Structure 1
Amino acid sequence: MLDTIVDKFRLYEVLAMSSFQSHLSLLEPIFIFASNLGDPQNGYVLYFVFGFIFVSHSAAFKMLWTAVLSEWLNLILKWTFNDERPYWWAPMAAQHLAATNHSHYFQDVTTDYEYARQLNRLRLKQFPITCETGPGFPSGHVMCSAAVWFSLIIQLIKHKVIASRRQRLFTRIAFISTLMLVSLGRIYISAHFPDQCLIGLFAGIVLAVMVEKLVDIQRLALGGHILISMLLMAIAYAFHECLNRFGGQSGADWSLELAKLYCADINNVKADTSPLYVVWRASGAAVGIGVAFTQVLPLVNKNNYLSVARNKNNFTVRLINTIVSTVAVVIYVNYSRPEPTFGDQIGRFYGKSFVQFLFIPIVGLVSVLLNDKIMRFYFNRVHINSNN
């Protein structure tokens, strides 16, 4: 260990992260909030309702598919690079350095005491959300957030929701600033190295551009969604099996074993951070997108959809619908969440998660349409009463 350029680079990253944690501890609540904000599942839960109401149903469709593909591609990249996470790499490096004399890695270290002090800097803080079980490169939180948020920006510009140069500049500044904050959050909680977050940011933007060019709501019927869902799962499981067969002694689950070994609290190692959980979650959402947009949406008279938008209370009505519908999705997700568990019950957990995320797009879309009908009825009554 520490014989490669990458490991030496990781050592300096950990030292920087240790200083970052010690000097900015007052901002800890902000960093934890930012890390939670970047949770990949928020791509299914928090944003597509806004895109559906304020932009178009095709915008929401592309945002959801961006969430699915970014999660899946991030997993494949993680399995491909099999990179470390700081919270287990740092103590492994400290153990190695303690057993050998590598004081030349540190500047101005001339005594054993100074060497011990430097080794102590390799102890990183851990939090309940630190101990994710997959490999670390690239950051899923940053990559998936960058992909979904950039997809939303593309749709806002494309549909001229933001048209002026000043609006576009402000949107881009907000996009970069928020992603940087998410990245700092992931670094602060010791879940990722800085370079993993940086690459995740660029990968997410590239994926969003590709989805915009390649994914079309008119081309995918329900059968196509189901087929893609099955392909995503089949490819992921084939990749997983190849890692187990040809990946040497480590296999596909090496990162899970290290998470269990080096997490400060074993109870924080949860099945809903495992790579295969991501596969089932994304595959379920893919089917749900198909049901929502090819079966549920056509049942609604599109010409009358959100007809109250032509009312002078346009923005207020849409905002209310967005808030109510998003809250409905959040409530559904929280109350339908299966208990994460390893062992013999993990297959059942994966299956329940598939069903849970299958219904997220459906619940969101149905909530939007029901709220629209309720508000349309209300405004019609108000209009009739005012005329009388």
Structure 2
Amino acid sequence: MDLLHRLFNLASSVADLHTTFFLFFPIWFHLRKDTALRLIWVAVIGDWLNLVLKWVLFGERPYWWVHETRFYGNDPVPALKQFPITCETGPGSKVYSRLHNLCLSFGFVTCSDLHYKVLQGTSINTSLCVRFLQMGLCAVMGLVLLIVCMSRVYMAAHFPHQVIAGILTGILVAEVVSQLKSIYSASLNYYILTTVFLTSFAVGFYLLLKAMGVDLLWTMERAQKWCVHPEWVHLDTAPFASLLRNMGTLAGLGLGLHSPLYTDTKKRGYAFRIGCITIALVLLYVLDGWTFSPDNHMTFYSLSFGKSTLAILISTTLVPWALYKVFAIQKEDKKS
């Protein structure tokens, strides 16, 4: 049972958006830039849609629902085991599941890339090999998704129907957003306007519902009341923390791609790209250790925005620029 717990805990952690921004994106950006752009856009748009619709659906989470419902009457309430990642504070409705992260990163994106190579194949043998690789990759992804689904239910964070709905809508959003050609050549103004619009819409929608008497922070009270360990309730799982992180990521991508320091690593060799990936991952690991006090919510949200922006800038601009300068200096030294 302990092994099962570790497996499910690992699966939930890997499928989190945090892993997308701090691990998957730096790797994909320096190997296949278009794939990395799709990854960020699908993650941000999907999670934003998830946030907005969560406020309407009022989804429950198992770990507090069993204590609040009248379903069991006088019968004993099921004893659900809780874990450090169980006590998420947002509504439980997964209109757009975190599972899209894995779907896009290693499933739909890579499978579609391989499918393109099949169509462009120079021989039947090459096409067959790529097709088998595509089928094998998709089969592995299916198994991984199954484990992640089971982990979300096992951790008492979601009901089975929420996980299934999350997968279906996650696939739909990933497919729709991936088809938008504008995301591959978006200008800085496009990124800024999109960030401002998404943020303004979410905040405006929140204020509108609040003015109508809807308590959108009801889940915070439930989480604090029924989580067996108060220290497991973190502000970074709150809706606005998620919103500001995602908006910081999108803003950082726009600033990074259009910075005067930006260096397109596609024109560089694999040694340069691998160096960028390695250094970026190390710096992001260090940055990830930067935590903030949740005492002041506005400060916490602002710093979360800044941290997410910096994380993307490290991968897209700062590391490639610094490494390029180092190589340029070395070349000048050799010539002299």
Q: Normalising by structure 1, what TM-score?
A: 0.74
Counterpart of 2:25 in structure 1 is 48
Within the candidate set 57, 62, 72, 1:97 is matched to: 72
Alpha-carbon distance in structure 1 between the residues aligned to 2:112 and 2:67: 44
Counterpart check, 1:130 vs 2:86: yes
Unaligned runs of 5+ in 1: 1-23, 100-115
Q: Which AA in structure 2 matches 1:78?
A: K
Within the candidate set 173, 181, 196, 1:207 is matched to: 173
Alpha-carbon distance in structure 1 between the residues aligned to 2:164 and 2:109: 20
Counterpart of 2:201 in structure 1 is 235
Alpha-carbon distance in structure 2 between the residues aligned to 1:254 and 1:203: 25
Within the candidate set 11, 36, 54, 2:13 is matched to: 36
Q: Contact 1:321–1:371 at 8 Å: present in 2 too?
A: yes
Counterpart check, 1:142 vs 2:99: yes
CA displacement at 1:237 relative to structure 2: 1.0
Counterpart of 2:49 in structure 1 is 73
> Structure 1 residues 218, 64: closer, same or farther in 2, change over 3 A?
closer
Q: Contact 2:81–2:155 at 8 Å: present in 1 too?
A: yes
Within the candidate set 226, 233, 240, 1:269 is matched to: 233
> Structure 1 residues 184, 59: closer, same or farther in 2, change over 3 A?
same
CA displacement at 1:272 relative to structure 2: 0.3
Alpha-carbon distance in structure 1 between the residues aligned to 2:111 and 2:209: 36
Superimposed CA distance per residue, residues 155-175 of structure 1 (whole angstroms, 9 cap, x where no aligned partner): 633764996101111221122
Counterpart of 2:217 in structure 1 is 253
CA displacement at 1:154 relative to structure 2: 5.5
Q: Which AA in structure 1 matches 2:257?
A: F
Which runs of at least 4 in structure 1 moved beyond 6 Å after TM superposition? 375-378
Alpha-carbon distance in structure 2 between the residues aligned to 1:168 and 1:125: 38
CA displacement at 1:47 relative to structure 2: 1.0
Alpha-carbon distance in structure 2 between the residues aligned to 1:375 and 1:181: 44
Task: Please tell me whether Structure 1 or Structure 2 has the larger radius of gyration of its CA atoms.
Answer: 1
CA displacement at 1:190 relative to structure 2: 0.6
Residues paired across the two proteins, number:
323
- C-alpha RMSD over aligned residues: 2.9
Within the candidate set 240, 244, 249, 1:280 is matched to: 244
Within the candidate set 139, 163, 167, 1:197 is matched to: 163
Q: Contact 2:224–2:230 at 8 Å: present in 1 too?
A: yes
> Structure 1 residues 159, 63: closer, same or farther in 2, change over 3 A?
farther
Q: Contact 2:97–2:169 at 8 Å: present in 1 too?
A: no
Counterpart of 2:308 in structure 1 is 357
Within the candidate set 35, 40, 46, 1:59 is matched to: 35
Q: Normalising by structure 2, what TM-score?
A: 0.85
Q: Which AA in structure 1 matches 2:198?
A: L
Alpha-carbon distance in structure 1 between the residues aligned to 2:190 and 2:93: 30
Unaligned runs of 5+ in 2: 119-125
User: Alignment identity in percent?
Assistant: 27
CA displacement at 1:367 relative to structure 2: 2.0
